[in-house]
A and B are shown apart, each in its own frame.
Chain A
Amino acid sequence: ETGVTQTPRHLVMGMTNKKSLKCEQHLGHNAMYWYKQSAKKPLELMFVYNFKEQTENNSVPSRFSPECPNSSHLFLHLHTLQPEDSALYLCASSQVERDEQFFGPGTRLTVL
């Protein structure tokens, strides 16, 4: 595997379900990000982790819970989501000391 990978690529869940999105980067980076991409809206930054420590929470509802166990893996735990949470969730990584961010292919989430 190379670059940034995300699983699953597609996810359908009910509002009462609990699910998790996984991201893994194979680039040796030390910063990881979660973004939300909704139709007709700009990409929205959700969370930033630098050296496994959360440094940014962009006013994200608590039904989204991130976890970064090490600098290569990032999770987004989901529970009691709403239909308006349906979107493409993108993971990215970078070197903290550098500007360039590299994105994974995303998880297409549908909340019924």
Chain B
Amino acid sequence: GENVEQHPSTLSVQEGDSAVIKCTYSDSASNYFPWYKQELGKGPQLIIDIRSNVGEKKDQRIAVTLNKTAKHFSLHITETQPEDSAVYFCAERLRGNKLVFGAGTILRVKS
């Protein structure tokens, strides 16, 4: 079925600590997995993505890992800052250009 499970639903961390958000997908044919950040009053913004031919991708303080066998992928944010506070969504791409999203994780970075 078309389903992406995302955990946790809320996450509070201290400024400077790391944050990890995990997603599990169901379609073994999926080959593209983006992560979006949504701030209050704004649309989702693509922050990083990974394709099924790689296991890890990094961009400064954020990284994504993919385990195709287990069908899960994770977002890692290091040295968190207050401006990282937002809602984060994972997604998998199904056939064509259809994205299925997780339910979202509210990240709060406490200073």
Contacts and interface: CB of A to CB of B under 8 A. Distances in A.
B67 to A, nearest CB: 20
Given A4-B43, A106-B43, A101 B97 contact: yes
Interface residues of A, number: 25
Given A99-B34, A99-B93, A100-B34, A45 B46 contact: no
Contacts of A103: 36, 43-45
Given A101-B46, A102-B46, A104-B43, A42 B104 contact: yes
Contacts of A106: 42-43
Interface in A81-99: 90, 92, 94, 96, 99
Contacts of A56: 96, 98
Nearest to B45: A103
A106 B45 CA distance: 12
Contacts of B41: 105
B4 interface: yes
A108 to B, nearest CB: 9
Given A56-B98, A90-B44, A106-B43, A99 B103 contact: no
Interface string B43-85: 1111001010000000000000000000000000000000000
Contacts of B34: 99-101
A100 B36 CA distance: 11
Contacts of B49: 99-100
A102 B89 CA distance: 14
Given A42-B104, A99-B34, A48 B46 contact: no
21 contacts: A33-B97, A41-B103, A43-B89, A43-B99, A45-B98, A45-B99, A45-B100, A48-B96, A56-B96, A90-B43, A90-B44, A92-B43, A94-B97, A99-B32, A99-B34, A101-B34, A103-B44, A104-B43, A105-B41, A105-B42, A105-B43
Interface of B: 4, 32, 34, 36, 41-46, 49, 51, 89, 93, 96-104
